[in-house]
Structures are given as structure tokens and as C-alpha cells.
A and B are shown apart, each in its own frame.
Chain A
């Protein structure tokens, strides 16, 4: 350590002498808003990140590249779904690029690692997807806003819907990791019947034959599963091949029945119920124009993730407009965000005390519309639903 202590001041002095010659960057008159977008664009799960990014950029494009009338610069970096990368990118955005707002993260574990360092540095974080319980409860922060959902929300809705339908013996399945356990806990919070079986599978599991055989032997009334990404595709395909879909209805959160995933699963998903806060057939002006514009810009149907990215852009737009393009006062900007004065594509939207959404949650069914397999809304499960952790948050 001795070496270090001598060196440091020496080098510092040298550096200062050298850098004295370089003028500090001149202050610009109208400073653009800088938004850092950290999301997953490569490797596994890239489609989610790409959807969020595309949704967000569409929102920006529809405001002519100016959120709240201010020139907006989006710095977009791929985190390759690695915590370390995400953390490093966040540090750079804070220290070097001096962004005003960070957004984009897809995964809860990445969010858990990155969000605290963003908020601690006095920047704002707008979550377009992940909503881990800690950040909604005990570790909530005044600069952290979630524009998607708290992780449990869709599972809670499923629990309620299954109970409403009078199903009394449900089999539960999720991967063996925290989000999986939260999902099952969220489901059980509103489900009143008997649990026919509760199975935790390997993360990233590919083949579910063994679980399906056990499931059949347990003879449940219905099955609720949470298997995000490729795991869900595997499961639904194999569930249908095992001939289970005829007698035992399948329920899941929207994640496994997104437009992209339905394209990959095909007819095997028909008849599956899934819970979501959004669907492309929700009838309001904001949603209609979003769906149209998205299809035109990218040539595909928007997904849940895209809608969340889009809403994140709109939320920021509304807040910047409200403070008249001046982001210098954090308190004012925060209050503006809290008001959430934007037309969400999902209709009713406001923030709870923990700055997570209070919103309606629907149940959708997968059906065939002409040649495409897609979702339609069946009914509304919750109106103005708030998450269970808001009371733990001291804001």
C-alpha cells in the first residue's frame, strides 16, 4: 500500500498539470436531455430488450426526437444479460456521459444490482420491465419509478381469476430461483383453493417430460406456470403434445404468451389463459395509434415489452413537458413524474406511494385470428390494482 500512497498524489499532480491546458467543456445554452438505455440486445433474451428499445424509440420518434420538447439523446448499450456489464455501463453513464435518466433493464437481478447505484448517484431510473419486490418495498427510492408492474402483479391476477372460475385443485410450476418463488407466492396470495402440487424446475430447463408425467398423475383441475423466455415455449409445446391441454386448462402470466412467443409456439398455445396489464386490442386512442405506428415502423405486432418501453418514453415526455424542459430541479421533476400525466396505452394508469403502477389487469385467451395465433381480452380481473409491498415502502 505504501507504494500506492506515494504514487497517487504524484500521478494526480502530473495529471492536473497536464489537463490544465485543456479547457473545461463549454456550457451549452439548451442542454439536451440524456437518457441512458441499458438493455439486453445480444444473447439469450435479446428479443425482450429489443422490444423495449424499439417501443421506447418509437415513443421518442413520435415526439420528433424531443421528449417534452427538448432535444433528446438516447445512449443505448447492450448489457448481454450480464450483471457486471450492466453495472459497468451504468457507472459509465453516470460518471462520464452524465445522463439524466437511466432506463431499459429487462431482468430483475440486473435491476437489483444497477438501480441502487443509479438512484444513489442522484439520477432517475424508470423501469420498463423488471419490478423486484425489494425495490417496491423496503428498498424503494424516490428516484426509482416503475412503469411496467411489480413482479407479482400478473401472478396475483391469475390467482384471483382461477379462484373466480371455481377451480379448486391447481398444480403450480416455476423455475427454482427467487422470481419463480415470488411468482408462486404472488399466485397463492389470491388463490383460495387446494395446491395439487408445487414444482420448482431447473433454470433454463429444456425438457419437461418428467414433470409432465408427474403432473398428469396428480390429476389437477388446472395448471399455473411461470416459465419465462424459451422455457415457456418448451413447456407449452410439450404440454400440448402430451395431450394435456384438452382436459387440464393452462394458466400463465403474459410473459409466456407474447406475440413473439406465440409465433414460435403456434396452435399449441390456443386456449391458454394468461394475465396481462396490456393487450393490443385495448380500446383507447393512445393504444390504437401505438399499435398502428409500431406495425408500420417495425413490420411486426408490438409486444407487452414494447408497450412498456413506449409508456416509459411517454412518461418521461410528460414530466419534461410539465417542468418546462428544465431538469435542474430534481424535486420538481420527480413530482412531475409522480403525476404520470400521460395517456398510457393500457388506459388507466397512476403511481402508488411506492412509485409503482396502480393499474387494471386483464385475463387474455390465446385464439386463432385468421392465420395468426394471438391474444384477446376475456375479462378484467383487477381494477386499479396495487402491489402488496407498497405498505413496506417509506416514501
Chain B
């Protein structure tokens, strides 16, 4: 029996799906906003082998890199409020879970980026009489950041994909909205096909930007 596809009925619910997509983007932005400062600080600590702090950073990074996003989300949503004794919104719980995990990946990215800057750059800044923080801020980080941006975009792609798990704890992102639409129209395959296409369009473009940037920076540097 050939299946009778019907996309038109699902397309009527497009605004609802896009609304979910918007929430996905918002949630992703919050996760990135949390991840960037933590990741940069940890990455610098790791690269500079700061005493006492570096081993802590290693434990943090290794823990979050090998932990499972969905388990973290469940933990932050169901368990963390009990531990803290406060209510957390789904948005907050998911942001903490994914943001902290992303910060661990970002820290490794920052460490690798800093490591890719030649010792000559450190020396030239040192020879000018720059103190350590100034060397990092004006000479090393700007160069490292440029090299890290393409990979950073790929990290953003991963974060966006991970935030689709938030629907499981009832945050109204795209998968959650897709479920609601599909229970209304009984067309789950069409609904999730369209939800998938929306995600694909967004992530594919982000990935292309990463590639374009990578090529551009590769051309500028020698």
C-alpha cells in the first residue's frame, strides 16, 4: 500500500514549527553565552598551566566532554532543583546542562587555538615589554580567536542540535512543537520531515559560513 503523503496540512502549522525553531535558536544563544566566558577562562588556564587551577580545569573538561547531554539535561531538570531547593525553569535547567558541556568543548578549542600561535609571537610581545595579560589580550587571543572561529561555528551547530533535546523536558523548541503538531494532524512523518528540513536549512548555512571563514582566514595567513 503506497503511503499517501500530505504535506499541505502540515504546512498550515508552519508558523508553530518556526516558532519552535525560534525557541531553539534562543536556547542555543543562551547556552553559547554561558559557554563562551567559562570556556575561554578554562582554556587559558589549561594552556598556561596555571598552578592549582589547571588540574581542576582538566577534571571539569574531561567530565563534561564524556558525559551524556540528555543525562545532564535530565539531571539539571529533575535532580538539580532538589539539590538547590529552588525551582528552575526548563530554560534555565537546559541552559546550564548544555552550556556547561559546551564550555568544556570550547575550552579545548581555546587551548588548541592558543597552542597554534608560534612562540615567536609570544617572544616579540615579551621583547616589547608587554606583561603577560597584555600579551594574551592584544597579541595572542586575537590571533587565536581568528583561527578558532571556523571550529567555533561547528561547535554552534552541535549546540543547536543538542538543544533539540530540551523538548523532552517540555521546553517548547522545534521537536516539542513538532510533537504537538503531529498529535493534532496525525501526520508525524510529514511533520518531522519538515522540522528536519527547517533544522537542516539553518545548520547547513551555519556550516557553510564556517567553511567560508576558514578559507578566508587560511588565505590571509601565510
Q: Do chains A and B interact in one complex?
A: no
